[in-house]
Amino acid sequence: MRPSEETDSLPIKERSFEFAIRIINLCKALEIDSRVSRTLAHQLLRSGTSIGANVEEAQGSQSKADFTAKMYIACKEARETNYWLRLLLETKILAEAKLAALVDESSQLVAILTAITRTARNNKK
């Protein structure tokens, strides 16, 4: 079983939380390395944990528009996280084996959040 299969069936709230935990653990390892790694870890930590925070905020939204806006922000953060992970991969700061599952999960989160945002926008009309 691939690592993301464990989270594939989770609701987006739990899935984004589990993803944030994995990002935090990765960033802890990057903090020990060079200045470049620490800088990238900081960027990755901010965007990777922001996904779940915005999903959580969307759950308590006061309107459909507020919900859509928070989910859209979560989607943007997922895209940014995917960027930082791919950058770590392509610069060989970390081995592909350590990053492949996270890159895949971030891509899946982008797809899920894009679908949620589109559905929410279409339901507003």
Q: What is the distance between the alpha carbons of residues 88 and 86, in angstroms, rounded to a whole number?
A: 5
Give me the count of residues in the chain. 125
- What's the mean pLDDT in 33-47? 90
The HSE-up count of residue 30 (CA atoms within 13 Å, CB side) is 27
| pLDDT tens track for 61-117 | 999 999 999 999 999 999 999 999 999 999 998 889 989 999 999 999 999 999 999
pLDDT number for residue 2 = 38
pLDDT number for residue 3 = 47
Task: Specify the CATH number of the domain 12-124.
Answer: 1.20.1440.60
The tokens describing 12, both together, are 């987006």
CA 4 to the chain's CA centroid = 13
| pLDDT tens track for 11-25 | 999 999 999 999 999
Q: Considering only CA atoms, which of 4, 102, 97 is closest in space to residue 45?
A: 102
| Confidence band, pLDDT 50/70/90 cuts, at residue 1 | very low
Residue 125 has pLDDT above 80, yes or no: no
Could you tell me the residue ranges of all domains in the chain? 12-124
